[in-house]
Amino acid sequence: DAKTTQPNSMESNEEEPVHLPCNHSTISGTDYIHWYRQLPSQGPEYVIHGLTSNVNNRMASLAIAEDRKSSTLILHRATLRDAAVYYCILRDLDETGANNLFFGTGTRLTVIP
Partner 1 sequence: ETGVTQTPRHLVMGMTNKKSLKCEQHLGHNAMYWYKQSAKKPLELMFVYNFKEQTENNSVPSRFSPECPNSSHLFLHLHTLQPEDSALYLCASSREGSSEQYFGPGTRLTVT
Instruction: Please give the residue ranges that form the binding site for partner 1 (CB under 8 A).
Output: 32, 34, 36, 41-46, 49, 91, 93, 96-106
Tell me which DSSP letter residue 67 carries.
T
CA–CA distance from 19 to each of 72, 92, 96, 101 (Å)?
Answer: 6, 24, 32, 23
Distance from C-alpha of 28 to C-alpha of 113, rounded to nearest angstrom: 40
Name the residue nearer to partner 1 (CB basis): 39 or 65.
39
CB 54 → partner 1: shortest distance, Å? Answer: 18
Q: How far is the CB of 73 from partner 1 (least distance, A)?
A: 16
Least distance between partner 1 and beta carbon 72 (Å): 19
